[in-house]
Structure 1
Amino acid sequence: MMVESELELLLLHALPLDGTMWAEQMELLPGATYAPTLYSFGDRIESWAEKVLSLTTAKRLVVVGCSVGGSCALEVAALAPDRVAALVLIGTKAWRRLDPVYHASALETLYEKGLEAAWCEFWKPLFANAALPGTIEKAKRITMRQPLEDVAQGVTVFHTRPSRDDILSSFPGPVVVVTGSEDVAPGLKTSRKHAKMAQYGRLHVIPDCGHYVSMEQPEAINSIIRQVLETA
């Protein structure tokens, strides 16, 4: 039986990675941190959020998400607004523009060219120019151990997720928006807009950093998350 705790930390990963992208964040709230791998949770982001919530009985949650993980964090807030104390959205776009051509192209690349080709085309370019080669190689290793079908399902979840501007603008707690200075997905303009849209939004721009902040600049994001936990 799960014992209810007061505060827990949920860390939700980006494509095409898994929960181990948060290796440097797992001790921010020792014994009360979850970094699940999301692919097995279904083919809809609503299902991902439901399964994430089932992992914890905490009265209050700080939910941190990167990219599609940030979209899942918004969905968690939609499902359990009374439990989510704060959101940290890294490289996240709250609204979704339908792009069936790009969706189909991404799946075609995965299935016809393979996971490594998709990594090189879609995800490796999201790292900053200054990212350490070892960091990029670690991310590639994480990617290459994912089943291709799981990554493809993640791509579909990303492209079929609902827009959640409504949750972003109505969420009653802190919304900390984080972007790398070199992130192009979604980039500084969108991140700044999201921080302004939230009732209690704050924007952090991490220098010399791309999309995968928790791996590229772990100390910077750790400091931000610690501040959120202290006031949650």
Structure 2
Amino acid sequence: MAAPLLVLVPGLLCDDSVWQPQIAGLADRARCWVAPNDGHDSLPALATELLRQAPAERFALAGHSMGGRIALEVMRQAPERVERLALLDTGWQPRPGGEAGEAERHQRLSLLAAARESGMAELARRWLPGMVRPEAHGSAVYGQMQAMVQRHTPEQFAAQVQALLERPDAADVLARVACPSLVLCGQDDQWSPPDRHAAMARLIPDARLVLVPDCGHMSTLEQPEAVTAALADWLTEPC
């Protein structure tokens, strides 16, 4: 019998390298396929592309950061295709209105301007420090993240920024999830903090919440063994 398919969705400025520890660690449990997270400038369109390209009709689905938001749009469009759902270091709410929403828009567009004017290395210099715990700065893993950011182009980043600025509210999607669900985040994630994930887990019927110690936003690379173990447990939960 063929192993089940596990679809892994990377986040903003991430590629398949962000999932490599899990692909290796789960090889005896699942066939892993990394979904595209660019080529469109809306989350619903990215979800439609994932569904079009997925190499099996039904699959387990795990998304990290922006990838988690894509995963929620997959659940909106085709919940019958998803056997189980994992949301890592992500969120479900739309961009807020008022000053908070304008502040987010300004922050994201300022980073985009830096990428266009000074290159992706400058973007990595500005953006990455807040994505990991301070203790990870300068580490080998941090170097991998810098290289990953620099494999992207300003045009790819622009499309992803647009998708995130116009992100839909997925509260209604969470309430309808009817498959084994994992909500995971780094205990020290400053971008998508633990209290947001606790609230998200309460919105999903019977979801399991995992907070990873000594870990920031880039959990799959910062604490790969803990994340892989949590995903392994999730993959064995009965449907």
TM-score if structure 1 supplies the norm length?
0.90
Question: Percent same amino acid among aligned pairs?
Answer: 26
* Displacement after TM superposition at 1:79 (Å): 1.2
Per the alignment, residue 134 of structure 2 pairs with: 129
Number of residue equivalences: 228
CA contact (8 A) 1:12 1:73 kept: yes
The 10-residue stretch of structure 1 (78-87 or 67-76) with the greater mean CA deviation from structure 2: 78-87
Contact 1:110 1:152 in 2 (8 A): no
Q: Which amino acid aligns with 1:53?
A: L
What residue in structure 2 maps to residue 75 of structure 1?
Answer: 73
Displacement of 1:6 after TM fit?
Answer: 7.3
Identify which range, 7-16 or 113-122, moves more after superposition: 113-122
Q: CA deviation at 1:160?
A: 1.4
1:23-38 equivalences under 5 Å are 23-27=20-24, 28-29=26-27, 32-38=31-37
CA contact (8 A) 1:180 1:210 kept: yes
| 1:72-151 to 2 correspondences below 5 Å | 72-98=70-96, 99=101, 100-131=105-136, 133-151=139-157
**Cα distance in 2 between the residues matched to 1:172 and 1:6:** 22
Any stretches of 5+ residues in structure 1 without a counterpart? none
What letter matches 1:134 in structure 2? A
Offset of residue 57 of structure 1 = 4.8
Unaligned runs of at least 5 residues, structure 2: none
After superposition, give the CA deviation of every residue in 1:48-69 in whole Å (9 maximum; x if it has no partner): 1111112225343211111100
> CA separation in 2, counterparts of 1:36 and 1:179?
20
Give the deviation of 1:89 after TM superposition.
0.8
Deviation (angstroms), 1:29: 4.3
In the aligned structure 2, how far is the partner of 1:72 from the partner of 1:207?
A: 26
1:200 matches 2:206? yes
2:5 equivalent in structure 1: 8
CA deviation after TM superposition for structure 1 residue 17, in Å: 1.5
Distance 1:113 1:24 in 2: 31
**Superposed displacement of residue 178, structure 1:** 0.7
